[in-house]
Amino acid sequence: MFTSQFEGAVFWGIVILLAATAFTWIALNHRNRGKRRQDSLPLIFVVGVIGVAIGYARIGALPHWLFYPGEALLVAGPALTIWSYSILGRYLSPYVQVLPDHRLVEKGPYGYIRHPGYVGAMLACIGLGLALQSWVALLEIVTLGRILLAYRMHLEETFMVSELGDVYVEYMRKTKRFVPFVI
């Protein structure tokens, strides 16, 4: 799939680093610190694994040059997610969760959009599909990733409204979900 061992090493190095970081963060933050709901988090990883399998099967090949913008998005997306999640501080959780004394965070990208971490995840999904150089993998990852993230956003917003009330309703009125001032 890759034209050189260097490209394969870059791809797998980034994918393994991202997966290890995500699994480590989830494991370290697994404790139940507040009221939470079940969500689709584990399924998001399954979508990526299926996409990699499709890419390696070379189903629906795309031009090789898409590997490079794909890798760039595979780095930029998680960078946006990490930056936005770092702003949440102690309110960050791998689960749809409201912590005791929870306060709404409206700093940084959260002043404009409600889900900058998920925007970063979608950029990473697009990047993974492009880096795999398969339109079928790209379609599978983006479509299923978007469905799972949309479901998670729905759960999160419903839960936040039920737990934080009018504060979160007003926040939803002032901000967009994905793109500032647009959607």
pLDDT band with cut points at 50, 70 and 90 for residue 182: confident
**CB proximity list for 19: less than 8 A, separation 6 or greater:** 45
pLDDT digits (tens, 9 = 90+) for 146-162: 998 888 899 889 989 99
pLDDT digits (tens, 9 = 90+) for 78-99: 999 999 999 988 888 877 888 8
**Domain limits of the chain?**
5-30+40-92+118-174
51: phi > 0 → left, psi -120 to 50 → alpha, else beta; which?
alpha
Q: What average pLDDT does the structure give for the chain?
A: 89
Q: Tell me the average pLDDT across 36-56.
A: 79
As a 3-state breakdown, the chain gives helix, strand, coil percent values, each rounded to 5, of 70, 5, 25
pLDDT digits (tens, 9 = 90+) for 4-19: 999 999 999 999 999 9
**In the prediction, which pLDDT does 44 show?**
80
Among residues of the chain, what percentage have pLDDT more than 90? 59
